Amino acid sequence: MTQNIDKLNTALNYVKETFVGKNDVVDLLGICLLARENAFLYGPPGTAKSAIIRTLAKTVKDGKNFEYLLTRFTEPNEIFGPFDIRKLKEGELLTNTEGMMPEASMVFLDEIFNANSAILNSLLMALNEKIFKRGKETKHLPALMFVGASNVLPEDEALNALFDRFLIRINVDNVNPELLQQVLLAGRKLENMIDSEIPGIQTSEIKELQNLCKTVDLKPIYEVYLNTIINLRNTGIAISDRRAVKLQNLIAASALICGRNEAIVSDLWVLKHIWDTEEQIEILEGIINRIIEKDDHPKSHPQSLQNKTPNPEEVMKDVKILIEKWENENLSFEDQNVIKDKLRYLQTRCDWIGNPEQKQYIQKEIESLWQKILQTV
């Protein structure tokens, strides 16, 4: 186990060194790869979404990569392969899948929400059950992981089922300006990199780890996890029973990639990335940080420790926005709950502000808003 984990971590570290400022993205993709769950990348063009997946795929030395940019006019043949002409002449409807998605170990579908009804049902089955079905033809897919990407979230209800198939949602943005010089240097290095120099791991080794992931003991965190799911549902974050079951795989993967065979509370950090809307990103971060912040296990996943020190001015700006929104008399019950959740998140962030005067001033403003909220309840 240790050797394969080391190989995977070496591969992930290479991708992180190549893409400066994207450690969280790469770590989450590593978790999904271990758990054999699907990941969704959300962010504007030019934020290296495709390049990160392409580089990660190169670390799987004997794997096949399939990458496709979907449009509204994409046909099933472009994804799954055309019908085999030779077999068609013999009266059989079989798909020639050579070089297509059904034979790939790493699958990346860009602009995933352009998927039309012609390919939607086949995609849903592939993403959920890792099966390709066409007529009487059924093929189990070797895909280690599916990754989808888009710079918009789905607005059409017909696409909600597709979005739901991506267990982890990763927000990918431009890097901090302070890191821009490193990004430029790393980008030049990537252009000159020879594939043989890239550290790698075999598909068989990844599959061994995926099977091992299923044996990780979750009993130590079971009660905390159960209460967290109930809490998130009460907050208005929709988590179906199916997703609640699958999320356990991600928690197990966080433990395994750290060399542990049992989960600890800080492994719940992965739950920060199960949002459905942009508004839920901050809410989830606040809730999950409160749960995991007391865990000081020496083998915690590095991402569980990434509770970024907030900018006091940004926090104060967000508090002012909430005050203005609350003073709007036409707030719906749902809008009121969103404001309360965001205020709780900001209250948590405020605790991490280093300057005591700024911290006290913001806390006073937050307390004042809570008083106004309580008076209207």
| Full residue range of the structural domain in which residue 297 is found | 214-305
Instruction: Identify whether residues 265 and 353 lie together within a single domain.
Output: no
**Domain co-membership, 14 together with 160:** yes
For the four alpha carbons of 70, 71, 76 and 81, in that order, the dihedral sign comes to negative
284, 271 in Cβ contact below 8 A? yes
Same domain, 52 and 71: yes
User: Is residue 152's pLDDT more than 60?
Assistant: yes
- Same domain for 332 and 189, yes or no, is no
Q: At residue 65, what are phi and psi to the nearest 5 degrees? A: -105, 135
174 found inside a domain: yes
Number of H helices, E strands in the chain: 15, 7
- pLDDT(196) > 70: no
Domain membership of residue 202 (yes or no) is no
Share the mean pLDDT of the chain. 86
Domain boundary among 284, 305, 326: 305
With vertex at residue 130, the alpha carbon angle to CA 128 and CA 134, rounded to the nearest 5 degrees, is 100
Tell how far CA 247 is from the center of its chain.
Answer: 11
Q: Are residues 144 and 243 in the same domain?
A: no
Torsion angles phi and psi, residue 170, rounded to 5: -115, 120
Is the domain of 263 the same as that of 360? no
Give Rg (Cα) of the chain. 23
* Residue 290: pLDDT over 80: yes
Count of beta carbons in the 10 Å neighbourhood of residue 71: 12
Q: Which helix (H) or strand (E) holds 215?
A: none
> Are 147 and 105 spatial neighbours (Cβ–Cβ below 8 Å)?
no
**What does the alpha-carbon distance between residue 160 and residue 114 come to, in Å, rounded to a whole number?**
12
Say whether both 296 and 358 belong to one domain. no
In-domain check, residue 205: no
Mean predicted confidence (pLDDT) in 343-359: 76
Which of residues 289, 305, 321 is at a domain's end? 305
Does residue 372 have a pLDDT over 90? no
Please check whether residues 188 and 226 belong to one and the same domain. no
pLDDT-derived band at 347, boundaries 50, 70, 90:
confident
Q: Provide the token pair at 281.
A: 């990103």
Locate 188 and state its tokens: 């030049």
Q: Is the pTM of this model over 0.75?
A: yes
Domain identity same for 144 and 14: yes
The answer to whether position 69 is within a domain reads yes
Same domain, 37 and 167: yes
Give 355's pLDDT tier (boundaries 50, 70, 90). confident
User: Do 187 and 231 fall within a single domain?
Assistant: no
Is the residue at 207 inside a domain? no
Number of domains in the chain: 3
Domain membership of residue 203 (yes or no) is no
CATH code, domain with 162: 3.40.50.300
Residue 206 lies in a domain: no
* Pair 145, 268 in one domain: no
What confidence tens digit (pLDDT) does each residue in 81-138 have? 887 767 666 667 777 888 999 999 999 999 999 998 888 888 999 999 999 887 778 8
